[in-house]
Amino acid sequence: MKNNSVILFHSSNYAMWAVDVLNKNNIINKLIPVPRDLSSDCGYCVEIESDSILEAEEVLKREIIEFDRIIEL
């Protein structure tokens, strides 16, 4: 992945669900631990390519997968 962003979630269940939904929508992603310098209620986040932010956000909202925020790294 080139320019990366992370999607932060309130629970690990939402993070794992997001990975499944993003995969089904052909959005490259990876479940990773939340970087130490970021705060979140969950220990996991989903890394995506920054070029996919808008598409990923649209997919997650359509599937009603709650997320905290998306941060570009």
Round to whole Å and give the CA distance between 38 and 31. Answer: 15
Q: H or E stretch including 21?
A: helix 12-24
User: Which CATH number, 3.60.20.10, 3.30.70.1060, 3.30.70.1940, 3.40.50.360, labels domain 4-72?
Assistant: 3.30.70.1940
What's residue 1's pLDDT? 46
| Arithmetic mean of pLDDT, 47-64 | 97
Give yes or no for residue 3 having a pLDDT over 50: yes
Round to whole Å and give the CA distance between 64 and 59. Answer: 8
- State pLDDT tens for residues 6-53: 999 999 999 999 999 999 999 999 999 998 787 656 689 999 999 999
Per residue, what are the HEC states of 37-71?
CCCCCCCEEEEEEHHHHHHHHHHHHHCCCCCCEEE
